[in-house]
Each structure stands twice: as structure tokens, then as C-alpha cells.
Amino acid sequence: EAQVTQNPRYLITVTGKKLTVTCSQNMNHEYMSWYRQDPGLGLRQIYYSMNVEVTDKGDVPEGYKVSRKEKRNFPLILESPSPNQTSLYFCASTPLLAGGENEQFFGPGTRLTVL
């Protein structure tokens, strides 16, 4: 089954304790992206990657890191989480088809609480 998976689905942590949220897709998509969703603000893009070793900032990259060492994986790293990073996080992947329908497919989300 074609899918985007995220782990963990729920996480409660404390300020300053480094954490990683994993994202993996099995569709051989070139493009992957991370978003955070906060009430009333919709989804805001944190980082995106157009291929292996190619990453770029979205609208809200501060406090986050990403890496793209393999095509299928795109982990999100919070080196020193703070309470304002409490949010619902989504990973997405998209094929980059010239002239094609480049739909984004979303993972199930990770609900993070930073105390």
C-alpha cells in the first residue's frame, strides 16, 4: 500500500530534550515536506526537500532541522524543543512529474507536546 508513515504519532517531552520525528514514504517520491498545524493558522511549511541532499526552508524553519540522506526518509529534528513548538506535525511527499499531477500525500500526523 502506497503511504507516508510518521513516528511517533504522539509524543510528550520536556523543554530542551532533543527529539526526532521520522517520516518515510514508499512511493519513490522526490519531494518531501514537513508542516506544523496550529489552531486558526492552517498548515505552515517548515522545511522541504526536492531530492536526496537537497533541502530548503519553508515559512517557519526556526528551531527545526531536517536531513535527506535517503530518498524515502525525511526526519524532522528538534535539537532543543520549546513549548511554542507544541503542535500537530505532518509529513508529506509528492512526485515531481514534468507536466503531471504533483499531488501531495500526507502522513497521519504527529501530535507533539513540549512541557
Instruction: Please provide the distance, in angstroms rounded to a whole number, between the alpha carbons at the two ends of the chain.
Output: 36
Separation CA 70–CA 32 (nearest Å):
11
**12 near another protein (CB under 8 A):** no
Interior angle at CA 61, CA 72 and CA 13, nearest 5: 80
CB of 67 to another protein, least distance (A): 18
**7 near another protein (CB under 8 A):** no
Residue 23's CB is within 10 A of a number of other CB atoms, namely 24
**53 near another protein (CB under 8 A):** no
Separation CA 23–CA 34 (nearest Å):
9
CB of 112 to another protein, least distance (A): 13
**58 near another protein (CB under 8 A):** yes
Select 18 or 32, whichever has its Cβ closest to another protein.
32
Q: Where does this chain bind another protein (CB under 8 A)?
A: 31, 33, 35, 40-45, 48, 50, 56, 58-59, 88, 90, 101-106, 108-109
